[in-house]
A and B are shown apart, each in its own frame.
Chain A
Amino acid sequence: MALTSDVAPDAGNRLEDLVDTAHRIRRSIESVIEGKADAVRLTLTVLLAEGHLLIEDVPGVGKTMLAKALARSIDCPVRRVQFTPDLLPSDITGVSAYNQQTREFEFKPGPVFANIVVGDEINRASPKTQSALLECMEEHQVTVDGVTYELESPFMVIATQNPIEMEGTYPLPEAQRDRFTAKIAMGYPEPTAELEMLDVHGASQPLGKLEPVATTAEVRALIQAVRAVYVSQAVKRYAVDMVTATRRSPDLRLGASPRATLQLLRGARAHAALAGRDYVIPDDLQELAVPVLAHRLLPSLEAQGQRRQPEQVVADLVRRVPVPDTN
């Protein structure tokens, strides 16, 4: 899938730079994660849309690897938090400790003070701890003992959770899932890709060889460029139509929130920019609808009875909502 395939003729230099940089980051990540182009692209989209990513999958398919590869490729600090039932909020945000030498309380930043934070098995922590992380995600800031610390941009949380029901887990409530821009499943690699993985990474630790291909400053510039992508009134209406359809669908008990609309549109901007386009088209929204919307929805009892997953319902809705014709 060539990212530069449809560069608009009048796109500025910034957009070309963006495509170029994004392409470098993508290749860099793909060199350690085989055959997961879609997941990689979506991760980049979420990064550029200033969102957070929820990866739901079984252990050992490369969730953490993906997060680390991304962090390593853009040369920024990455912190990993293993969520456990006894994890405290301060374990995430940081604590003020008494320094005996200076005789003052000194703030020890927690793991959120990084550009990319990997929250492993987020559903194992208590709701209190989960909410501490979620506050940082929404506000991009941490408040400890009345002092507010800004988080550095870019700031992205990549949380993972196990889909299998396990003892001692606190599944994320709808309200908290709503804060994640997108949810993806890594899925098992293709047999060929897995074979190649054995060949290439069998003996060594691939992450170690990964060299940064972009700086945080460059990524910040990319985010700025994404914000400038044009969204026509028709496309905005289309996004609203799509979200409204989830609220009206008889298969869903809970539709998507206005925050979902916002994040859908932000994601579509990033998606368009990654394709080298300076305007959003309905196709961008269509492609993002399932990963961005599905995890926020609750299926109705009827749909559950028919074993229809929200992903399926959203895909059906996308097929039914007519694309806007004109402005």
Chain B
Amino acid sequence: MRLSVVAGLAVGAVTLTLYSLFEGGAWFWACVGTLLVTTGGATLASRFDAPKWAVPPLLLLATAVFLSATFAKEHTWAWVVPTKASALRLGELLAEGFTDIQRYAVPVPAEPGVSMLTASGVGLIAILVDLFAVRLRRAALAGLPLLGLFTVPAAVLTEPVAWPAFVIAAIGYVGLLVADGRERLTQWGRAVLVRRARSVGTDKADSGRLALSGKRIGATAIALAVVLPALLPALSPDPLFGFGVGNGSGKGGNSIGIPDAIAKLSGQLSQQRNLTVLTYTSADDRPRYLRIYALDVFDGKKWTVSPLRGRPEDRVSEGPLPPPPGLGPGIATNRVESRISVSEDIGPLLFLPLPYPAVEVDVDGDWRADQASRMVFSTRDEAAGLNYRVVVNEPRPTRDQLDTMDTPTPDSRFLALPDLDPKIVAMAGRVTAKGATPYQKAVLLQEWFTRTGGFSYSLETKGSGGSALSRFILTARTGYCEQFASAMAVMARVIGIPARVSIGYTGGTKIEKSWAVRTQDAHAWPELYFEGVGWLPFEPTPAGGAGQGTARVPDYSLPRPSEVTPSADPSAGPASDEEDTSSQGPTRRNPRDFERDLGAVPVAVDPGMPVAAKIALGAAGVLLLALVPAAARTLVRRRRHAQIRRGGAAPAIRAAWAELCDTLTDLGEAREPSESPRALARRLTEMYEFDAEAAAAVTAVATAEERMRYAASPPSAGPAAAELSCVRRALMGAVPGKRRMGALLAPRSILLRVRAAGTRVLDGFDRLEGIRWLPLSKGEAGTR
């Protein structure tokens, strides 16, 4: 009976990991209801000894009744009994749910269809788990349906499941195993104790000890599963303690999490309700991109923000911000004031949407500017509902000025790239081969994305990292702003231009006197760095009806009139017009031809290290790792000898004794706890047939320790380092070679110390155990 409850709890624990797939909590309560029904049904079935084969159909029936009563109440008879109409309604809802899931990127709004679909899936899993764990008594097998449920968020999300969610799910499964094991144990009966009367009453400890070791193993396995990947850089999917995704942290104890900018972006773009998130007016009445995040770290899978710094003196209320990085003299700038008013519909947001580069921000609250990226954020205030004034100082460089500019990076992280598909590197070289200066290369790159590369805009695509990136650049060439921005930034870095990805909103559309920015104006675009101008936004995403509606290509990023098409007007607004003209233009370059033409250009690609070298390196690494205990032991010995030579009776005696004990431990010399120093010295002398010198030395070490411990006045001087070395030599000489090697290469004293540390960690777990937070304990209390 208890097993049924624990099985239900296990499914519940795994269900919790679905949290990041949905918006809103309706799905959760539907799942909880379903689980209550299945668990209650299973408990009753156990209570009344229902035949095993009958339980799953019964539970299915109960689940169906619950779902119709919840989702198709108006069609049921007496609000409970399902009718044909209610069944049809459930079918409709299922179909709706499937379409919703297909249509929306995560997080999916929890509409009834989606909730119903989720609840019925969870119910099915619960019935399977009950079948395996309770009816067939194969609790381990019940892990398969649980794993199935767990893989849903793992497979759908580009981000790994957050570790606390994993821990909860794993504890659910371990709890199921523990409950099953305990049920088995109780069937064995109690252990018979042949003890005197005083210790009677320990039957609890007996089964408790078994359960304890089981729990210890479970806790250790979970802890290792969480900690190990974080320690191994190659396997690290998510920084430890980064609950949620992509986090940034401020100095001074404040930290803020950035919600997954990219995932949120696709969610916003595909949202049906197109809410106005903010409106703004500006002095020159021109639209401006409003940036929220600048993502500067690319790990091969996703773009994230490097840690932010928001010192108290960085508060925007402290006065004008320093000039933006990289802006040199001689560049014309345009100082414009805008007033932005953010709607409550923008949702929780700890960053201000601002045009770049803002030099003055006038806003209520504790908002701080990260000096490097110019992101303005707060750890306690939210952007929703704010009205603020911002002054930008836009650089307006001419093409000639840009042509002369170099791209020394302000920070190497803007050029950092993970191991990329060599084809991407080659492609970047080919596309920009004609450009003479970094600026020209950047323009060519943007042109390739918007016109010559044959890319098309689609919201169906998912992901921007790893293989998705190669697919986008090399084969599919279909995506939305996320892929375009990411790909351009990566390729710009490949050709040596510092780049980052900005996330925010496009300039929006003009309504009467102000500009309105809506959910679907959410956008990502690359920013490239040119020394003398600073960061300049580029726009590789197709604009207009067939692309991101309100995207605009900056003037400076358009090719010179002579370079493109005679018909193209550089001052023309939306790029979509140009797209059309380009496809009909006289040059009419087929993108494939373009590639073939430049295919012969030799591009240096680093093939990386040969495999044999990698293996050798790995082996060397393993060897080094294996020698760590030996090195640690040597260090400890050196330190103790130094301590002895430094003098000071008490520390020297302690060090000498500790060293003697550790040497014996290393040699695998067992010691009785009751052996006193004097007895030990006597035994060693007899056992290893020490010569007079060694015998005197070991007696000196032992006597010093003995007097130190027990005499009224400790000795005035410790044993000499030479004596200690003499004892060690005598011991090493007396044992067989194998033991000597073992003592040298795998010193047991160090390993024991590590084990002791491990035990302390386990003790910590046991103390956690004492808190009795496992749901399992409730059932336990019920049966005792």
Q: Are A281 and B674 in contact (CB under 8 A)?
A: no
- A143 CA to B74 CA in the complex, in Å? 106
Instruction: Give 26 CB contacts A-B under 8 Å.
Output: A8-B711, A232-B712, A235-B710, A250-B199, A279-B710, A280-B710, A281-B676, A282-B674, A282-B676, A282-B710, A283-B678, A283-B679, A286-B676, A286-B679, A302-B194, A302-B196, A319-B674, A320-B673, A321-B674, A322-B674, A323-B673, A323-B674, A323-B675, A323-B676, A324-B709, A326-B709
State whether the Cβ of B706 lies closer than 8 Å to any Cβ in chain A: yes
Q: Are A232 and B195 in contact (CB under 8 A)?
A: no
Q: Cβ of A324: which chain B residues have Cβ within 8 Å of it?
A: 709
- A226 CA to B485 CA in the complex, in Å? 92
State whether the Cβ of A230 lies closer than 8 Å to any Cβ in chain B: yes
User: Shortest Cβ distance from B274 into chain A, in angstroms?
Assistant: 75
Q: Are A283 and B676 in contact (CB under 8 A)?
A: yes
User: Shortest Cβ distance from A250 into chain B, in angstroms?
Assistant: 5
Q: In the complex, what residue of chain B is closest to A303 when comparing beta carbons? A: B196
Q: Mark B647-677, 1 if CB is under 8 A from A, else 0.
A: 0000000000000000000000000111110
Q: Mark A219-232, 1 if CB is under 8 A from B, else 0.
A: 00000000000101
State whether the Cβ of B187 lies closer than 8 Å to any Cβ in chain A: no
User: Shortest Cβ distance from B327 into chain A, in angstroms?
Assistant: 68
- A8 CA to B704 CA in the complex, in Å? 11
Q: Mark B187-198, 1 if CB is under 8 A from A, else 0.
A: 000000011101
State whether the Cβ of B713 lies closer than 8 Å to any Cβ in chain A: yes
Q: Are B674 and A318 in contact (CB under 8 A)?
A: yes
Interface residues of B in 699-741 (CB under 8 A from A): 706-707, 709-713
Question: Which secondary structure dominates where chain A touches chain B?
Answer: loop
Interface residues of A in 225-246 (CB under 8 A from B): 230, 232, 234-235
Q: Are A322 and B676 in contact (CB under 8 A)?
A: no
Q: Are A10 and B673 in contact (CB under 8 A)?
A: no
State whether the Cβ of A327 lies closer than 8 Å to any Cβ in chain B: yes
Q: Cβ of A139: which chain B residues have Cβ within 8 Å of it?
A: none
Residues of B in contact with A, size category:
10 to 19
Q: Cβ of A318: which chain B residues have Cβ within 8 Å of it?
A: 674
Nearest first, the 8 A-B pairs at minimum CB distance are A322-B673, A230-B712, A279-B711, A282-B676, A232-B710, A323-B676, A281-B710, A283-B676
Q: Cβ of B194: which chain A residues have Cβ within 8 Å of it?
A: 302
Q: Are A300 and B196 in contact (CB under 8 A)?
A: yes
- A250 CA to B200 CA in the complex, in Å? 11
User: Shortest Cβ distance from B678 into chain A, in angstroms?
Assistant: 6
- A315 CA to B11 CA in the complex, in Å? 56
Contact of A319 among B198, B672, B678 (CB under 8 A): B672
Q: In the complex, what residue of chain A is closest to B708 when comparing beta carbons? A: A326
Q: Mark B677-707, 1 if CB is under 8 A from A, else 0.
A: 0110000000000000000000000000011
Q: Are B196 and A234 in contact (CB under 8 A)?
A: no
State whether the Cβ of A199 lies closer than 8 Å to any Cβ in chain B: no
Q: Cβ of A232: which chain B residues have Cβ within 8 Å of it?
A: 709-712
State whether the Cβ of A325 lies closer than 8 Å to any Cβ in chain B: yes
Residues of A in contact with B, size category:
20 to 34
Q: Are B711 and A230 in contact (CB under 8 A)?
A: yes
Chain A CB within 10 A, most for which of B199, B676, B710: B710
User: If A250-B195, A286-B674, A320-B673 touch, does A325 touch B709 (CB 8 Å cutoff)?
Assistant: yes
State whether the Cβ of A57 lies closer than 8 Å to any Cβ in chain B: no
Q: In the complex, what residue of chain A is closest to B195 when comparing beta carbons? A: A250
Q: Cβ of A253: which chain B residues have Cβ within 8 Å of it?
A: 196
Q: Mark A1-45, 1 if CB is under 8 A from B, else 0.
A: 000000010100000000000000000000000000000000000
- A69 CA to B712 CA in the complex, in Å? 36
Contacts A282-B710, A286-B676 known; list 7 others, CB within 8 Å: A232-B712, A253-B196, A279-B712, A286-B679, A323-B674, A324-B709, A325-B709
Q: Cβ of B195: which chain A residues have Cβ within 8 Å of it?
A: 250
Q: In the complex, what residue of chain A is closest to B706 when comparing beta carbons? A: A281
Q: Mark A274-301, 1 if CB is under 8 A from B, else 0.
A: 0000111111001000000000000010
Q: Cβ of A302: which chain B residues have Cβ within 8 Å of it?
A: 194, 196
Q: Cβ of B678: which chain A residues have Cβ within 8 Å of it?
A: 281, 283
Q: Cβ of A286: which chain B residues have Cβ within 8 Å of it?
A: 674, 676, 679
Contact of A234 among B672, B673, B674, B709 (CB under 8 A): B709
User: Shortest Cβ distance from B205 into chain A, in angstroms?
Assistant: 15
Q: In the complex, what residue of chain A is closest to B675 when comparing beta carbons? A: A323
Q: Are A321 and B709 in contact (CB under 8 A)?
A: no
User: Shortest Cβ distance from A265 into chain B, in angstroms?
Assistant: 13
Q: In the complex, what residue of chain A is closest to B712 when comparing beta carbons? A: A230
- A8 CA to B713 CA in the complex, in Å? 12
Binding site for A on B (CB under 8 A): 194-196, 198-199, 672-676, 678-679, 706-707, 709-713
- A279 CA to B676 CA in the complex, in Å? 14
Chain B CB within 10 A, most for which of A323, A325, A326: A323
Q: Cβ of B672: which chain A residues have Cβ within 8 Å of it?
A: 319
Q: Are B709 and A278 in contact (CB under 8 A)?
A: no
User: Shortest Cβ distance from A312 into chain B, in angstroms?
Assistant: 15
Q: In the complex, what residue of chain B is closest to A281 when comparing beta carbons? A: B710
Q: Cβ of A235: which chain B residues have Cβ within 8 Å of it?
A: 710
Q: In the complex, what residue of chain A is closest to B711 when comparing beta carbons? A: A279
Q: Cβ of B712: which chain A residues have Cβ within 8 Å of it?
A: 230, 232, 278-279
Q: Cβ of A234: which chain B residues have Cβ within 8 Å of it?
A: 709-710
Q: Are B709 and A327 in contact (CB under 8 A)?
A: yes
- A321 CA to B676 CA in the complex, in Å? 11
Q: Are B710 and A320 in contact (CB under 8 A)?
A: no
Q: In the complex, what residue of chain B is closest to A235 when comparing beta carbons? A: B710
Q: Cβ of B674: which chain A residues have Cβ within 8 Å of it?
A: 282, 286, 318-323
Q: Mark A61-104, 1 if CB is under 8 A from B, else 0.
A: 00000000000000000000000000000000000000000000
User: Shortest Cβ distance from B249 into chain A, in angstroms?
Assistant: 44
Q: Cβ of B676: which chain A residues have Cβ within 8 Å of it?
A: 281-283, 286, 323
Q: Are A10 and B706 in contact (CB under 8 A)?
A: no
- A257 CA to B467 CA in the complex, in Å? 79
- A281 CA to B711 CA in the complex, in Å? 8
- A232 CA to B710 CA in the complex, in Å? 5
Q: Cβ of A278: which chain B residues have Cβ within 8 Å of it?
A: 711-712
User: Shortest Cβ distance from B550 into chain A, in angstroms?
Assistant: 77
- A287 CA to B742 CA in the complex, in Å? 36
- A322 CA to B675 CA in the complex, in Å? 7
Q: In the complex, what residue of chain B is closest to A232 when comparing beta carbons? A: B710
- A45 CA to B684 CA in the complex, in Å? 28
Q: Cβ of A326: which chain B residues have Cβ within 8 Å of it?
A: 709
User: Shortest Cβ distance from B654 into chain A, in angstroms?
Assistant: 9
User: Shortest Cβ distance from B371 into chain A, in angstroms?
Assistant: 55
Q: Cβ of B673: which chain A residues have Cβ within 8 Å of it?
A: 320-323
- A318 CA to B673 CA in the complex, in Å? 10
- A280 CA to B706 CA in the complex, in Å? 10
- A197 CA to B709 CA in the complex, in Å? 44
- A10 CA to B717 CA in the complex, in Å? 13
- A325 CA to B196 CA in the complex, in Å? 32
- A280 CA to B709 CA in the complex, in Å? 10
Q: Cβ of B199: which chain A residues have Cβ within 8 Å of it?
A: 250
Chain B CB within 10 A, most for which of A250, A280, A283: A283
Q: Cβ of A325: which chain B residues have Cβ within 8 Å of it?
A: 709
- A250 CA to B676 CA in the complex, in Å? 26
- A279 CA to B709 CA in the complex, in Å? 10
User: Shortest Cβ distance from B352 into chain A, in angstroms?
Assistant: 62
Q: In the complex, what residue of chain B is closest to A229 when comparing beta carbons? A: B712
User: Shortest Cβ distance from A305 into chain B, in angstroms?
Assistant: 10
User: Shortest Cβ distance from B680 into chain A, in angstroms?
Assistant: 10
User: If A250-B199, A320-B673, A320-B674 touch, does A10 touch B679 (CB 8 Å cutoff)?
Assistant: no
Q: In the complex, what residue of chain B is closest to A231 when comparing beta carbons? A: B710
Q: In the complex, what residue of chain A is closest to B199 when comparing beta carbons? A: A250
Chain B CB within 10 A, most for which of A8, A250, A282, A322: A282
- A326 CA to B199 CA in the complex, in Å? 32
- A3 CA to B194 CA in the complex, in Å? 46
Q: Cβ of B679: which chain A residues have Cβ within 8 Å of it?
A: 283, 286
- A324 CA to B708 CA in the complex, in Å? 12
Q: In the complex, what residue of chain A is closest to B682 when comparing beta carbons? A: A283
User: Shortest Cβ distance from B52 into chain A, in angstroms?
Assistant: 46
Q: Cβ of B675: which chain A residues have Cβ within 8 Å of it?
A: 323
